[in-house]
Structure 1
């Protein structure tokens, strides 16, 4: 698409796949007193004159992340009369710690939160001193549908969730837990990661995790730190056309992959917090 649609043309609903480094955000959801991912994304759209009111444009994302949590494959959608400008200009208007890397035209009712078939998270940590085989074995306890009261902050929500897949692996000098499900409770993946880290340190067993899952008694006093968590993918059944990354985007993708110094803090912070 070489130019914006002609004046008077019907608006177009666009979905964007995007990522961000969560270190300097107070979470993803718009908040009046905090710098947030959605707040910066909406501000960039307004600077590009893609819309003037995010509510009228029905700006929506595929889910929320907490303070300090990162994303690789989050999805945002909004309606605009200037789709070509959106595709070309958003990366220039977004701050350095947010980038878009794919887009698609979607149907007018599309809402990424409700269209999401599954969400995938990764929790990264340094593999030093951890038995990854024991962690991988213990992780299988979480597969299927369970009451996750022992591994989340419920806040009045239905504690039953379904984990479609989970694995423990290592790449580029870091280990990670990757878990996929339709939806997750608050801090659920971080509590799961905390318990698996303990299993990797031989401080709890596979059977201990199974017992806590069955009884609902908390397995850990605190979730694993937020800065190790990445929203890896939101699957809305969309094929995204790629937006070629600029040098800035490549740099930040590299930072997301190569966070050795930050990840070295995870075990020590976690160990201190559980004492």
Structure 2
């Protein structure tokens, strides 16, 4: 072996030894902060440790300023917004949220202008006027002390951040979500027979059972091409899996009776939920027969009205497979909405439900929509009047005409 190579290897070995000694010296107790010990760690609201009713996560000084991939849990009332997704020049939920993240110091200015730089991803798209009790967005965020309070301080009353979960680097809030739950708040007078004109009628138990029986017919994997737009019967993406569809017990607010419908599925297409509800109402009221439901699964196009968008809200996003993986690996924490149940329910009742009920009791959105049902055949016949005029008879409508799926 030549001398230069031997000297090189000897020098390399010597440097390795020096490096090991330096590293060992750096982590000895004497080389750290003496006597007084390290600064006390600060804490902010999150989801890793529980101290009574407060959810906290320890943040050390070394964490501050570092980027971490997180899943942020938030709710919003969609009134006055043109949907969830950011669209320059229009008022959207994401626009307000991203601006608040920047002002709170959670993201840099470059990410504020170009959200892809922080790997920003929403779990589910919501259309104009649609609400969310618990939406999830994932992105890379700076570790900031008391970050949730700081973000909320820059948000309007209609948007509230509940907390965040540390997630894996490859986590995507949309693709990791394996089910979505929506709720729909509506007045029970919509179930009354079409011959009855009294808005203040209270439904009986038999009517609620009838509603539940019809909703149960949607459960399973079916072809929903008739419950959206621009989807052919042969299109595989028109097939959707519904896990649950139920009707809750009636409740009275502002002297008007309401019910809440709950539907859980893997994913939903544009207008799908509202058309499912529209067909159910038509059958319950006597405007359509049960045969209309059977025809809806067939190849021919069926005229199905879509219920008003006012009462629709994204209620919960489910991460069953991801949570099982995290539990098995023993890293981070599961994405568990129940940690923030009290905050979510309070926001839903005070902001979302209050808006829905106030608007319905003042403007009778459903009553105006019910008047349009006579123009729908619930059959494969052409419609009697233009779709937009009939289904949007008032300002209560919350449609987006983007033609995109709700995911």
| CA displacement, residues 68-114 of structure 1 (integer Å, 9 cap, x when unaligned) | 10110111122112244433312212221000123211111111111
Which residue is equivalent to 1:218? 302
Task: Pick from 56, 71, 78 the counterpart of residue 15 of structure 1.
Answer: 71
Alignment of 1:228-267 (within 5 A): 228-237=311-320, 238-240=335-337, 241-242=339-340, 245=343, 250=346, 253-258=349-354, 259-264=356-361, 265-267=364-366
Partner Cα distance (1:69, 1:129) in 2: 20
1:160 CA displacement: 0.8
Larger CA deviation: 228-237 vs 3-12: 3-12
If the length of structure 2 is used for normalisation, what is the TM-score? 0.61
Which residue is equivalent to 2:222? 146
Indicate whether 1:181 and 2:265 are aligned: yes
Please give the secondary structure, in 2, of the residue aligned with 1:55.
helix
Judge conservation of contact 2:179–2:265 (CA < 8 Å) in 1.
yes
Indicate whether 1:132 and 2:208 are aligned: yes
Partner Cα distance (2:209, 2:351) in 1: 27
Q: Which has the larger radius of gyration?
A: 2
Count of residues in Structure 1 that have an aligned counterpart in Structure 2: 272
Which residue is equivalent to 1:209? 293
Indicate whether 1:199 and 2:199 are aligned: no
1:205 CA displacement: 2.7
If the length of structure 1 is used for normalisation, what is the TM-score? 0.88
Larger CA deviation: 237-246 vs 76-85: 237-246
Judge conservation of contact 2:241–2:266 (CA < 8 Å) in 1.
yes
Partner Cα distance (1:138, 1:182) in 2: 20
1:223 CA displacement: 1.6
Judge conservation of contact 1:141–1:206 (CA < 8 Å) in 2.
no
| CA displacement, residues 43-75 of structure 1 (integer Å, 9 cap, x when unaligned) | 111111211212211121111011010110111
Which residue is equivalent to 1:30? 86
1:119 CA displacement: 0.3
Which residue is equivalent to 2:104? 48
Larger CA deviation: 255-264 vs 97-106: 255-264
Distance 1:47 1:171, change over 3 A: farther
Once superposed, which parts of structure 1, at least 4 consecutive aligned residues long, lie more than 6 Å away? Answer: none
Distance 1:105 1:84, change over 3 A: farther
* Unpaired runs of at least 5, structure 1: none
Distance 1:155 1:35, change over 3 A: farther
Alignment of 1:53-132 (within 5 A): 53=111, 54-128=115-189, 130=191, 131-132=207-208
Distance 1:7 1:141, change over 3 A: closer
Partner Cα distance (2:246, 2:284) in 1: 13
1:243 CA displacement: 9.4
Judge conservation of contact 2:226–2:302 (CA < 8 Å) in 1.
yes
1:256 CA displacement: 1.9
| CA displacement, residues 145-190 of structure 1 (integer Å, 9 cap, x when unaligned) | 1110111124576211111111122343321221111111111111
Partner Cα distance (1:200, 1:244) in 2: 35
Please give the secondary structure, in 2, of the residue aligned with 1:189.
helix
1:134 CA displacement: 2.0
Partner Cα distance (1:93, 1:253) in 2: 22
Partner Cα distance (1:57, 1:214) in 2: 44
Distance 1:111 1:80, change over 3 A: same
Partner Cα distance (2:218, 2:242) in 1: 7
Q: CA RMSD in A?
A: 2.5
Larger CA deviation: 178-187 vs 128-137: 128-137
1:254 CA displacement: 1.6
1:9 CA displacement: 6.4
* Unpaired runs of at least 5, structure 2: 1-41, 44-58, 192-206, 253-257, 321-334, 376-407
